Chain A
Amino acid sequence: GQNIDQPTEMTATEGAIVQINCTYQTSGFNGLFWYQQHAGEAPTFLSYNVLDGLEEKGRFSSFLSRSKGYSYLLLKELQMKDSASYLCAVRDSDYKLSFGAGTTVTVRA
C-alpha cells in the first residue's frame, strides 16, 4: 500500500509563488502525478514525474526525488483561478494510483 502526505491547506497572494510538498512511502513506485481539482468539479491532470528532477509546464513545475520519497508542485505567478485543491498521486507496481487527501490552495487578492 501507499502512505501519501500533503498539507491540508495553504494560502497565498495573487502573483506570488506557492510550493506544495508531498511525501510518500510506497511498496512499489511507477510514477507520481499531480492533479488540480476545482470545487465541485473533476480532477484534471497537471503533471507526471517518473525520474528524479524538475518538470516545467508554464507556470507549474513538479519535482521528484525517488530516494527521499518526496515531490513538490510549484505554482508561480499565482492567479485567482488557481484557487483549487491539488492532489498528489503515486502509481504503484500494479499500475494503480493512490491519492493523498489533497491540499486546498486559496489565492487572495
Chain B
Amino acid sequence: IAGITQAPTSQILAAGRRMTLRCTQDMRHNAMYWYRQDLGLGLRLIHYSNTAGTTGKGEVPDGYSVSRANTDDFPLTLASAVPSQTSVYFCASSDGASGGADTQYFGPGTRLTVL
C-alpha cells in the first residue's frame, strides 16, 4: 500500500506558467487537503475536499484551484505561477468521519520554485 503519493517531487517553474501538482491516495479516504509550508509560518491550508465532488477554500486559496473528480485524486493547479508561490506543498488525506481523531496522513511533498 503506497498511502499518498505526490508528483512531481520537485519543480522549477517560470513565472506566469501553469502548473498542476498531483496527489493520489489509495486508502479510500473521503477527505483530502492541500497545504503549503513556508519557513517560520508552518503549514497553511490552501484547499480541501470533504468528499468526491466537493471542494472548499482554506486559509490561503488565492492563485490556486482544485478538483475532486474521484475519491483517489486531488490535483492542485496554479493557473499563472508567481514567485510568492515558491514553497513546499503537502497533500494529506483523512477518512473524514466526524468524531474521533480523523487523523490526517501526509504525502511526501512537492518542492516548487517559481522564478
- Pairing of A with B: yes
- A42 x B109 contact (CB < 8 A): yes
- B101 x A101 contact (CB < 8 A): no
Within 8 A of A (CB), among B75-115: 90, 98, 101-109
Q: Which residue in chain B gives the minimum CB-CB distance to A1?
A: B59
- Is B48's CB within 8 Å of the partner chain A? yes
- Is B16's CB within 8 Å of the partner chain A? no
- Is A13's CB within 8 Å of the partner chain B? no
Given contacts A41-B108, A42-B106, contact A101 B98 (CB under 8 A): no
Given contacts A42-B109, A95-B98, A96-B48, contact A101 B41 (CB under 8 A): yes
Q: How large, as a class, is the contact surface on chain B?
A: 20 to 34
- Is B40's CB within 8 Å of the partner chain A? yes
Q: Which residue in chain B gives the minimum CB-CB distance to A94?
A: B56
Query: Per a CB cutoff under 8 Å, which of B43, B48, B106 touches A44?
Result: B106
A98 to B35, CA, bound (A): 10
Contacts A41-B109, A91-B102, A101-B42 aside, 12 further interface pairs with beta carbons under 8 A come to: A1-B59, A4-B42, A31-B101, A41-B108, A42-B106, A42-B107, A45-B103, A48-B101, A48-B103, A50-B101, A101-B40, A101-B41
Residues of A within 8 A of B (CB): 1, 4, 31, 33, 41-45, 48, 50, 87, 89, 91, 95-102
